[in-house]
């Protein structure tokens, strides 16, 4: 077939043009106009769309908060949303057994209920934000004690001072000078509580819990003795703080000094108020040593009866303790109980300080009916000796009832605490 030369050249030119890149066919000016239009179109998009597009695949931020609620063999968790998270994993530790696991189900919202938990166990939870395979910084931890009781504790430890050792209600046994009694409140709890291991010792201050060995007959601080003990399924109770506030020497001054001790009110009150952070520290240390234990702190009775109804029976107290001094003693003990409760709340342990105060109302020293006194008056003739202004057996039974009330409330409602 014959083709004219000029037609062949035209076809070749068309074919070459088809293979020519767009920027050469349309020109640089045209391409620039297209790019400007694309950029202008992006600028018109909502800012959230642009942010999501840029952030795709970014590491999720830490959840802003975490809250919890105890249930019957379950715990409900909620938390603040993480930026860039498409879901969340839950990390769980059973503090009674130490078993740790990451739950397999990815949570797409910001709350979940964890079921199939053991009754009466402490669990620690964290929330891990994820985006695909990327994991962000976990949330802070929170600890939840499920509702219920396992039937009985395997171990029971009593820490603290003479109000926990049982001074005032002999007979005593064990380490000399600690005044550990079989009539102490720890021996009165009854159902669910085994015979206590009493680490408490008369005269103990907070430093004897965690810093110094109080007595040559003891094998370390009370905390060190606790740490060497089995702590699975444990109950721990304690009283501490009264000796830090110097209550016994101050009480002696009130009774035996010829001058009124009420001028000491402000100085003692300042000492009591300053105790709060130290008590919270001690409670946290005990909790850290036994994270799966139920920990209950007791307070102190108000010691002296209300002045308007008081009638002292011991001649030394009757002569040495004025109504204004009785009123001051009651006020200071009440303030100490408030400090104990506040420190317990900060540290995530249970306080029954207010229950102790209520239980002893009408049964303090100088109660009009002497048979109704649950606290010893002066047990010697000339000076304050061991047992004075400490509970009798009836007083320790009242302490035990307060502890049992705290236990029952814990079993019925569970508890949530921060780490």
* Residue 386, pLDDT above cutoff 90: no
Q: Which residues contact 244 (CB under 8 A, 6 or more apart)?
A: 205, 206, 271, 275, 278
* Residue 191, pLDDT above cutoff 90: yes
State the Cα–Cα distance between residues 373 and 379, nearest whole angstrom: 14
* Residue 25, pLDDT above cutoff 90: no
Going from N- to C-terminal start, the domains of the chain cover 66-145, 155-414
State the Cα–Cα distance between residues 274 and 161, nearest whole angstrom: 19
Dihedral of CA 243/244/247/249: which sign?
Answer: positive
Residue (of 293, 290, 296, 418) closest to 353 by Cα position: 296
Residue with tokens 């600690």, as numbered in its chain: 178
What tens digit of pLDDT does each residue of 95-131 get?
A: 999 999 999 999 999 999 999 999 999 999 999 999 9
The pLDDT assigned to 151 comes to 87
pLDDT band, very low/low/confident/very high, at 82 (cuts 50, 70, 90)? very high
Q: How far is CA 60 from CA 89, 101, 146, 374, in A?
A: 12, 21, 30, 60
* Residue 217, pLDDT above cutoff 50: yes
What tens digit of pLDDT does each residue of 273-316 get?
A: 999 999 999 999 999 999 999 999 999 999 999 999 999 999 99
Q: Do residues 147 and 413 make contact, with C-beta atoms less than 8 angstroms apart?
A: yes
* Residue 238, pLDDT above cutoff 60: yes
Averaged pLDDT, 71-92:
97
State the Cα–Cα distance between residues 345 and 336, nearest whole angstrom: 14
Q: Do domains 66-145 and 155-414 have the same CATH topology?
A: no
Interior/surface letters 31-48, b for 16+ CB within 10 angstroms, e for the rest = eeeeeeeeeeeeeeeeee
Residue with tokens 């503090």, as numbered in its chain: 95
Tokens of 341: 């409760």
Beta bridge partners of 94: 123
Residue (of 77, 78, 82, 86) closest to 63 by Cα position: 82
Determine the topology of domain 66-145 in CATH.
Immunoglobulin-like (2.60.40)
Determine the topology of domain 155-414 in CATH.
Rossmann fold (3.40.50)
What tens digit of pLDDT does each residue of 173-185 get?
A: 999 999 999 999 9
Question: What are the strands, taking DSSP E only, across 232-286?
Answer: 234-239
Residue (of 120, 153, 163, 119) closest to 353 by Cα position: 163
Dihedral of CA 246/249/254/257: which sign?
Answer: negative
Q: Do residues 215 and 162 make contact, with C-beta atoms less than 8 angstroms apart?
A: no
At 178, is the secondary structure helix, strand, or coil? coil
State the Cα–Cα distance between residues 106 and 317, nearest whole angstrom: 69
At 401, is the secondary structure helix, strand, or coil? helix
Q: Do residues 118 and 144 make contact, with C-beta atoms less than 8 angstroms apart?
A: no
At 273, is the secondary structure helix, strand, or coil? helix
The pLDDT assigned to 57 comes to 64
Q: Do residues 226 and 198 make contact, with C-beta atoms less than 8 angstroms apart?
A: no
* Residue 38, pLDDT above cutoff 50: no
State the Cα–Cα distance between residues 173 and 183, nearest whole angstrom: 11
């Amino acid at each position: 077939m014959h083709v004219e030369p000029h037609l062949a050249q035209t076809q070749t030119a068309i074919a070459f043009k088809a293979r020519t890149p767009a920027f050469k066919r349309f020109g640089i000016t045209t391409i620039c106009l297209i790019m400007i239009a694309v950029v202008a179109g992006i600028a018109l998009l909502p800012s959230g769309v642009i942010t999501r597009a840029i952030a795709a695949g970014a590491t999720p931020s830490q959840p802003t908060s975490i809250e919890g609620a105890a249930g019957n063999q379950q715990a409900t968790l909620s938390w603040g949303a993480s930026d860039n998270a498409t879901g969340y994993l839950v990390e769980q530790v059973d503090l009674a057994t130490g078993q740790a696991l990451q739950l397999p189900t990815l949570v797409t919202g910001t709350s979940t209920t964890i079921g199939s938990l053991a009754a009466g166990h402490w669990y620690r939870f964290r929330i891990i934000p994820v985006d695909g395979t990327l994991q962000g910084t976990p949330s802070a931890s929170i600890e939840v004690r499920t509702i219920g009781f396992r039937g009985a504790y395997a171990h029971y430890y009593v820490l603290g001072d003479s109000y926990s050792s049982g001074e005032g209600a002999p007979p005593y046994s064990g380490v000399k000078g600690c005044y550990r009694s079989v009539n102490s409140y720890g021996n009165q709890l009854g159902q669910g509580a085994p015979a206590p291991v009493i680490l408490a010792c008369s005269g103990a201050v907070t430093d004897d819990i965690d810093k110094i060995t109080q007595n040559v007959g003891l094998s370390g601080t009370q905390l060190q003795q606790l740490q060497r003990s089995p702590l699975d399924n444990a109950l721990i109770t304690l009283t501490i703080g009264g000796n830090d506030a110097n209550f016994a020497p101050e009480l002696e001054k009130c009774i035996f000094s010829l001058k009124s001790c009420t001028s000491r009110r402000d100085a003692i009150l300042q000492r009591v108020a300053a105790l709060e952070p130290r008590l919270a520290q001690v409670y946290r240390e005990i909790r850290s040593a036994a994270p799966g234990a139920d920990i209950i702190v007791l307070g102190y009775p108000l010691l002296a009866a209300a002045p308007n109804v008081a009638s002292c029976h011991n001649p030394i107290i009757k002569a040495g303790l004025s109504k204004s001094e009785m009123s001051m003693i009651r006020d200071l003990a009440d303030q100490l109980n408030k400090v104990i409760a506040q420190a317990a709340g900060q540290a995530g342990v249970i306080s029954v300080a207010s229950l102790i105060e209520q239980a002893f109302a009408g049964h303090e020293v100088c109660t009009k009916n002497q048979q109704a006194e649950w606290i010893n008056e002066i047990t010697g003739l000339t000076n304050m000796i061991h047992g004075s202004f400490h509970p009798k057996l009836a007083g320790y039974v009242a302490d035990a009832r307060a502890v049992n009330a705290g236990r029952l409330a814990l079993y019925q409602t569970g508890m949530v605490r921060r780490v």
